[in-house]
Structures are given as structure tokens and as C-alpha cells.
Chains A and B, each alone.
Chain A
């Protein structure tokens, strides 16, 4: 009895350790990608006030969502967090890119950048991600119901 309980605890622990390692690996890859990209965007943060902070806030929240999503893998909550991730990206895009037309001042020069093209493509990809997560959640629930019926 005790041996069985020990085994299941060990299995559960193993499962969570594996999940934690996977989540950490994903977060590290994501952070390294950000670190690599930010080295190119250095000059931009000097021109656009608050750019660095805004991107850092995005990366922090997104990494948190990646970790939570991975830790809840195999449950329906994973899909909730995937949806949250997609919604967060959409909202962030809307707020950060201001609908695609970004305006800021650098010294006495007023600069307007029309990122509509980038914004539309990013929104479409985010919506695709959102739809995918919703469909995955429905599929997961279907499979669970089917398994219960069998």
C-alpha cells in the first residue's frame, strides 16, 4: 500500500519536474530570443521613450504565461492559459501599436510610423493562435467525455 503510494508520488513528482524543466526550457528559449532581438533594437529605445520598459513588461508577462501554461499541461487549464496568452498578445498589440499608427517625439522632431501592415499580420496570427487554443480546448474536452463514456 505504502509502496504504491510512494510510486504514485514519485510519478507525480517526476511528471511535475519534467513539466517544470520543459517550462523553464521554453522560458529560457523565449528570453534568449528576446535578448538577441533587443540587442538590435537598442537604438530604438533611445528614440522611443518607454519602449524598453514596454517590451520588458510584455516579455515578463508572456514568460509567466508560458510557465503557467506548461505547468498545467494535460489539463483543461493549459488551454485557458493559451487563450490568455493569445488575448494578451492581441491586447498588447492594440495598446502598444495604437492601432498601427505610432506617433512620438524625438527632440523637436515629431515622428509618425505607420505599422498598419505589421499590425494586421500580427493580429491575424494572434487570432489564429486564439482560435487554435479554443479548438484545442474543445477537442480536449471531447476526448475526455469520450474516454469517460468508454
Chain B
């Protein structure tokens, strides 16, 4: 009797294990076109549609996909999770896997990301329960290139030229390459100080630099001159960037 019961349980167990393993091949995980957007709170949002099609013999439970993005030094830049409680037999589920990168926070921790291209480490983990009872976890490590938005930033010395009797026109040459995956829209502000630290003038230029393109321009502003106050012979100019995703500055450039 024990032998019969034992044989029956063995058949049931092996049958279940084989059918569960067999049904995994009928679980299809595919990905749609990834979308990138800027959120209302000025963060980059990656959205990846995941299409889960379960044509297997059993339901899938507790599907969870997690993405962790970290810098080469190990600092955690972003983390996103997508959870689907159940995918029943012959059911297709579309879930959106969202990962938000707070560029301002990232740059506050390390400003090198503004100027140097690097590679981020990405750990992708997918876990699920096959046939509702067998936990399976798959993980994949890979790298993603990070392009610096202000790569090769060069701020030249200011050039002064007479504009009229009361003003001089100052031009500060500015150039950089936007290697980032996003467009750079915002403005560059310049504040001119004399060597005594008095603010003499301010100016700004709008920026609209597409991704993977080069910017070359000038920030122009007017310096008030009179018989008593002349163009300062020396001093410094503070340049700062304000874009949709981050602020940077100010960079101080001395002139003579």
C-alpha cells in the first residue's frame, strides 16, 4: 500500500515538475519601445513597456522587475520596480517599467557627470513564481553609457568693445558638446564683478542644444560706463547654467 501511494506521489511530483518546467517556455517576455520624458519635477523618466504573455499550463505569480542604476563608484543613482501580482493562463499583461533619474541630485553628488562621459552600472533583476510555487530569479548586469551634457566646456576671456557713450559691450565666448541623451534647454547667466567684488553687470543667453550636438556661442551683456566709473581693468565673471534638469554654477573666470 505504501509502495502504491509512494509511486503515485512520485508520478504526481515528477509530472508537476516536468509540466511546470515545460510551461516556462510558453512564458513570453517582450519589451516595447522605451520612452524618455521629463517629469513635472524635472527628472528624467525612462519608461519601458513590458509585454508578458503566459501561454503556459500554470499561472505566474509575483512578477517583479527591478532596475538599479549606479555610478562606477557604486553610488546609487536610480531604482525602479514593476510588480505584477498574477499573470493567469492565456493572459497577456502589459506593464510599464519606470525608472526616474534625478539629474540635479546626481550632479549635486558628483559634478564630474556634467563634464565627463562615463558608464553607469545597471543591475536588472526579474523574479517570479513559476506555477505559483517555484520561485525563479534572473539577474543581468550591464553598463549604460552616460554622456556629459557639458562635455569639453570652454569659457573664454571676455572681450570688451565700445557700444555707445554710456555702455561697453562685453562678450564671453562659450562652447561645449552635449553628449547627453536629453536636450539641454535653459539659459546661461553671466555676472560681471570688478576686482573689488562689486557687481558691474549681468547678462544671459538662452540655450537650446539638442542631444549629441555642439554648442558654440557668446554671452553678451552691457557694462555701464561714465566719467566716474570706467570699465574695470580686472575682476571676474561668474557664469552659471540653469536648465530644465539641473543648475550648475557659478564658474568664476578672472579677466585682466
A binding-site residues for B, Cβ under 8 Å: 37, 40-41, 43-44, 108-115, 117-118, 121-122, 125, 128-129, 132
Contact = CB atoms under 8 A, between A and B. Distances in A.
B6 A125 contact: yes
A108 B143 CA distance: 12
A121 B136 contact: no
Interface in B1-42: 2-3, 6, 9-10, 13-14, 17-19, 21-22, 25
A31 to B, nearest CB: 14
Nearest to A102: B136
Tier of interface size on chain B: 20 to 34
A132 B18 CA distance: 26
Contacts of A129: 6
A128 B134 contact: no
Contacts of A110: 138-140
Given A40-B22, A41-B22, A132 B138 contact: no
- Of all A-B residue pairs in the complex, the 4 with the closest CB atoms, nearest first, are A114-B135, A40-B22, A112-B137, A111-B138
Given A37-B14, A132-B2, A115 B134 contact: yes
Contacts of B138: 109-112
A40 B21 CA distance: 8
Contacts of B140: 108-110
A40 B25 CA distance: 10
B10 A114 contact: no
A148 B219 CA distance: 114
Interface in B128-178: 133-142
B6 A41 contact: no
A3 B146 CA distance: 96
A115 B17 CA distance: 10
Nearest to A112: B137
A108 B142 contact: yes
Contacts of B25: 43
Contact of A109 (B9, B13, B133, B139): B139
Nearest to B129: A114
A41 B140 CA distance: 24
Contacts of A113: 134-137
Contacts of A40: 18-19, 21-22
Nearest to B11: A33
A114 to B, nearest CB: 4
B134 A41 contact: no
B9 A125 contact: yes
Contact of B13 (A108, A122, A128): A122
A84 B142 CA distance: 47
Contact of A117 (B6, B9, B134): B134
12 contacts: A37-B18, A43-B25, A44-B21, A110-B140, A111-B137, A112-B139, A113-B135, A117-B133, A118-B13, A118-B17, A125-B13, A128-B2
A117 B17 CA distance: 11
A117 B22 CA distance: 18
Contacts of A111: 136-138
A108 B10 CA distance: 35
A112 to B, nearest CB: 5
Contacts of B6: 125, 128-129, 132
A121 B135 CA distance: 16
A120 to B, nearest CB: 11
Contacts of A108: 140-142
B27 to A, nearest CB: 12
